[in-house]
Each structure stands twice: as structure tokens, then as C-alpha cells.
A and B are shown apart, each in its own frame.
Chain A
């Protein structure tokens, strides 16, 4: 028994040493875990690239930063994400940058991490706790209202509109949906919302199925559609293309991918609200390092949101937003 205890102590000492290993130039080294909601969407790759950029920039300035990137592969696997957070907590990283899959389910592991001395910066989606360093994210309500403005303008303020929600319990998309709904109700009283209570589910496949079913019911009545994230927009676009309705309905989506850009050029998608995930990953890691170096940090940091349409698609500003330098920062 005592032997085991001694071994455990030894391991803990070694572990503690590992954390505080000095960098090559004598500076402290920070190991920061960045945990996305998933790894398959292009959105997360941009966050990854942005956090790598922050790490290499800071390292060049003399603060040695290492980013570890790990997440659940499926976007609705809360259990797995909790385990990832717990794993990094016991591993003893210096800080965690987390995009929580759920605004409540991840509260306990994040609070546990804080108790274990590992601070957390939340990115992308909110978390219902005060035990965090900062919340670095898109102003999602504003994103939703931008979409509402665009759709209202496309429909000249009247017509029937369908909202396909993303998934139950996802805070960021819920805010977009609420932002969209309140803007429509406030600014466009003549627009009727025919369906606002159906969910697309986590993947493109579930989104496509839900879209097909809804379009069969409402397809002939509606003039406008809003979907609040990448997978729901992709699923709806596939469903519209299948029934040759793409382009005949005003369709505003959220997030970006090459497919959306092509659809926008083909006139099948009339606007996308684009976040700045590259900036989110970048600011997430920078905020964490500021905190670790004892600098003051803001409690809430906005990373920017923008409406992209066919008209501003080719501007350098939008192109830079749509094509962040992924290759430079992801090997």
C-alpha cells in the first residue's frame, strides 16, 4: 500500500514538473487544450487554424504556447466531450478553450477543472456558469437579426417564412433563432411564420430528412426559409435542389462552406450569415494566455458576424473571411 502511495506521489511530482517545464529561452511554457464541438465541419478547422496562429505568434513573441486540439467527432456527443474535458483536467494542461456542446451538461466538468486549477475560456456557445475566464463568441442574436433583415428585404416585407431550427439545447443556434424571430416580428409584421418548431438534428442526413418532410407540407406556401447553422443549411439546400425548388424560394442560411458559395453564385442561396471562426480560435487562445500571464481580460469578447450575399461575395474582406489561411496553420 505504501509502495503504491510512493509511486503515485512520484508520478504526481513528475506530472507537476511536466506542466511547468521551461521553454527553450527560459520563458514559461503554456499547454492549452482547445476542444471544439466536432471536428468534421469546416467551421472547426478554421477555429483550429486560428488557435494555431495565436500559438505561433505568441511563441515568436517569447511566450511558449502549445495548442492541443481534441474534440468529439460527432457534434451531439455530449458525454464524449465531457470526458475530453475531464481528461485534460487530470492531464493537467494550463488552460482549456472549450466550445461546449450544451450550455448545462458541460458546467460540472468546467467547474471541476477550475477547482483543479485549470481555467476555461468558452468559445462559440455559451455556458451557464460564472466559473469561466471569458466568453469569446459571435453575437448570435445579431447574426439571427441580420438574416431576418435580409429575408425581409428579399420578400419586401410580406410573405410566409419557415424556420428550421438546429438542435435542442444548443445555445448559440437558439440565440440565432430567437434573434431571427424577434427581428421578423418587430420589423416585418406582414411576414407570417408558418413553422418554427421543428428541428434539423445533428447531421446533414437528419437535416435533409426534416427539410424534405417540411417542404412537402409547406413547400408550396412559403416564400422564405432560414436555417441557423452549417448542417441545417446544407440539408435544406440538398432538399430544395432535389425538388427543383432551389432558387424559387428566398433562402438565407448561416455559416459557410464551398457548397454554399457555389449555391449563392447559382442563385439558390440568397444570403449567409458568416461568423469569424478563425478569429474565434485566435482570440480564444490569446485570451487564455493573457489570463495565464496575469493580464486583465474582458468577460465577453465579440468576434464579429457578417452578412454575405452575391453582391459582396467577391470583396477582399469577404474572401478573407471565407477562405482563412487554413493551409498555413494546419499541417
Chain B
């Protein structure tokens, strides 16, 4: 009896340890990337400076906010390929709003809401028309991109200077913010999303849906409605990403962010998300996004050509997932 309890406790602690390792994996990866670059760099003090950290954080925000939404979708067993197009569309919408004289806050809200609307349509197509997420969002990738070009009149949309343009500046005003306001927004959103996913009924249901959809439905979860919610919520986040993109460029560009859906999916996967659903963490995805941003930043400062960056990032995605599999197979045996 006593032995059994002891064994149980040992199991629990080893499970907890394993859990921690899982979560630490991406963090170790990030530390490794930064460490290696610092060693290779002729001017490590510049690479490790607060200013460079500010730059990398600002550069990560668009992918990071997108990755929060994508993590929810991937945990639920889905995928969204339309993120890049949604970012372009919502950025253009926000820029057009400001251009036509709306208050920045109203333009901001309309950008986010259009993102939500795109997500909602994705969710409805997936659940009502029974189109698998890959195809539904592949379709939306084209539709949203085309719409962005259409509403922008096939050109970039320039607009007046507003506080929205300050969201991702390197030196924030007021200066006690230390990093750009957009970085704080991303951190707060990530924190909220992490708590929601881990500690609320909604969050548990998202995991249940991704682990075993049939079982989730049998347990009385309205899976279709849940999916529409997930895509809609993620869409709002993609909309905010679009506003951030506009803020960075100080214009609405309908051709921007092509291919960034792959960056965002890669961030989630490097962070431990599984495309089979049921697994993934917000913290991991954020680290994943940071790893990629540091890689680009570091390669550029060392002076390596672009193709090396692409090869390294590609390799890291595969290595991260392979390591994950390996750890898992050891844990099972």
C-alpha cells in the first residue's frame, strides 16, 4: 500500500519534471541561439544590447500576436493558412479608416473586427460547409489577399500620422515603458490567452476538441460552435497583427506579409505545438517566434547572406519537432 503510494508520487514527480522539460525545451533553444550568435559575433555587446532586444521584440510582435491565435487553432486540431492575407487586409482597412478621417481608435477597432469577421467566415465554412480547415483557409488566403488589393485600389494606402504609428517604435513615449507599447500588448494578450487555455472551461474544451473530436462531442461539447468561436477569436488577434503591421510601415500595404502564415505556424510548431491537435502552449509559441526573430537578426548582423538564414530556420523547425518526438517516445517507454 505504502509502496504503491510512493510509486505514484514518483510517477507524479517524474511527470511534472517531464512537463517542465517540455516547457523548457524551447527556452533552451532560444538561449542556445542567442549564445551561439554572441560567440560568433565580432561585436557581441551590440547584439546583446538593450537596443537590439528592443528591435527584436518589436520585430516579433506581428508574428507573436498571430501565433497566439494560431496556437488556439492548432491545439483544436485546425490550421489557418489565411493569416498573412488577413494581416494585409486588416492593415489596409485600418489605414483606409484613418485616411477617410475616422478616429484612430475606431480605425483600430474596425481592423480588428474585420479580422474577426474573416475568422468567423473560416469557422462557418469549416463547420457548415464541412470543408477541412486546410482547404477552407487556403481559399480564404486568396480571397482576403484579393480583397485587400481591391479595397486598397491596387496600391499602398498612405495616411496621416496618428498614435497608432507609435505602437512599434523602438523608443517608446513615455520612456518608462522600456519597450514599444505593442510589445506590452503582445505580452498581456499572451498571458491572458495562456490563462484562458489552461484554467477555463473554454480552454479545456479546446484541448479536448483537438485531442479527440468524437470523444469531445460525445461528452456534450458543441464542437461546431466551439470551432467557430476559436476561428473568430483567432481572427480578432490576426486583425490586431494587421494593425501592428500597418503601424510598422506607417501605411497600409496590400502585398505585405505574404508567407507570414508559415512563420506563424513555424513559431507554434517550434514551441511544441502538434499539427495533430491537442498539444501546444502559448509560452512555447512566443519563444518560437523569438527564436526565429533572433536568427534573422543575428544572421544579418554577422553578415551572413539571406539563404543561410532560410536554411537555418528550415532546419530548426525540423530539429525542434524531431527532438519533441524523441522526448515523447522516451517518455512512453
Residues of A at the B interface (CB closer than 8 Å) are 38-42, 45, 73-75, 168, 195, 197-199, 201, 203-205, 208-210, 212-214, 216-217, 238, 242-244, 258-259
Whether the pair A217, B255 counts as a contact (CB closer than 8 A) is no
Interface residues of B in 157-178 (CB under 8 A from A): 158, 169-171
Known: A203-B255, A217-B47, A244-B171. 16 other contacts (CB 8 A): A39-B154, A40-B253, A41-B156, A73-B255, A74-B255, A199-B305, A204-B249, A205-B245, A212-B59, A213-B296, A216-B46, A216-B52, A216-B55, A216-B297, A217-B43, A243-B51
- Alpha-carbon gap, A208 to B171, bound state (A): 16
Residues in A neighbouring B255, C-beta threshold 8 A: 38, 40, 73-75, 203
- Please, how many residues of chain B have a CB less than 8 angstroms from a CB on the other chain? 35
B24 within 8 A of A: no
From the candidates B154, B158, B249, name the one contacting A208 in the complex (CB within 8 A): B249
From the candidates B51, B297, B303, name the one contacting A198 in the complex (CB within 8 A): B303
Can you report 10 residue pairs joining A to B where beta carbons are below 8 Å apart? A40-B253, A73-B255, A203-B253, A203-B256, A208-B248, A216-B46, A216-B51, A216-B301, A242-B169, A244-B171
- Alpha-carbon gap, A51 to B81, bound state (A): 38
- Closest chain-B Cβ to A250's Cβ sits at a distance in Å of 21
B333 within 8 A of A: no
Whether the pair B43, A205 counts as a contact (CB closer than 8 A) is no
- Alpha-carbon gap, A216 to B46, bound state (A): 7
Whether the pair A258, B245 counts as a contact (CB closer than 8 A) is no
Residue of A nearest to B297 (CB): A213
Residue of A nearest to B62 (CB): A205
Whether the pair B257, A205 counts as a contact (CB closer than 8 A) is yes
Residues in A neighbouring B250, C-beta threshold 8 A: 238
Interface residues of B in 39-57 (CB under 8 A from A): 43, 46-47, 49, 51-52, 55
Residue of B nearest to A197 (CB): B303
Residues in A neighbouring B305, C-beta threshold 8 A: 197, 199
Q: Provided the pairs A216-B51, A217-B43 are in contact, do residues A242 and B170 lie with their beta carbons within 8 angstroms?
A: yes
- Alpha-carbon gap, A220 to B331, bound state (A): 50
Interface residues of B in 241-268 (CB under 8 A from A): 245, 248-251, 253-258
Q: Provided the pairs A203-B253, A213-B296 are in contact, do residues A243 and B170 lie with their beta carbons within 8 angstroms?
A: yes
- Alpha-carbon gap, A203 to B252, bound state (A): 12
- Alpha-carbon gap, A203 to B47, bound state (A): 25
Whether the pair B249, A212 counts as a contact (CB closer than 8 A) is no
- Alpha-carbon gap, A198 to B309, bound state (A): 12
Whether the pair A216, B49 counts as a contact (CB closer than 8 A) is yes
B300 within 8 A of A: yes
- Alpha-carbon gap, A40 to B254, bound state (A): 8
- Alpha-carbon gap, A231 to B204, bound state (A): 46
Whether the pair B253, A204 counts as a contact (CB closer than 8 A) is yes
- Closest chain-B Cβ to A41's Cβ sits at a distance in Å of 8
From the candidates A74, A197, A198, name the one contacting B258 in the complex (CB within 8 A): A74
- Listed from nearest, the 7 A-B pairs whose CB atoms lie closest are A213-B300, A217-B301, A242-B170, A74-B255, A212-B55, A216-B52, A40-B155
Residues in B neighbouring A40, C-beta threshold 8 A: 154-156, 253-255
Residues in A neighbouring B51, C-beta threshold 8 A: 216, 243
- Alpha-carbon gap, A72 to B55, bound state (A): 32
B198 within 8 A of A: no
Whether the pair B171, A242 counts as a contact (CB closer than 8 A) is yes
Whether the pair B254, A199 counts as a contact (CB closer than 8 A) is no
B149 within 8 A of A: yes
- Closest chain-A Cβ to B161's Cβ sits at a distance in Å of 11
Whether the pair A214, B301 counts as a contact (CB closer than 8 A) is yes
Whether the pair A205, B303 counts as a contact (CB closer than 8 A) is no
Whether the pair A199, B306 counts as a contact (CB closer than 8 A) is yes
Residue of A nearest to B42 (CB): A217
From the candidates B52, B154, B256, name the one contacting A205 in the complex (CB within 8 A): B256
Residues in B neighbouring A258, C-beta threshold 8 A: 158
Whether the pair A243, B248 counts as a contact (CB closer than 8 A) is no
* Chain B 82-117 per-residue mask, 1 if CB under 8 angstroms from chain A, else 0: 000000000000000000000000000000000000
Residue of B nearest to A216 (CB): B52
- Closest chain-B Cβ to A199's Cβ sits at a distance in Å of 6
From the candidates B46, B170, B251, name the one contacting A217 in the complex (CB within 8 A): B46
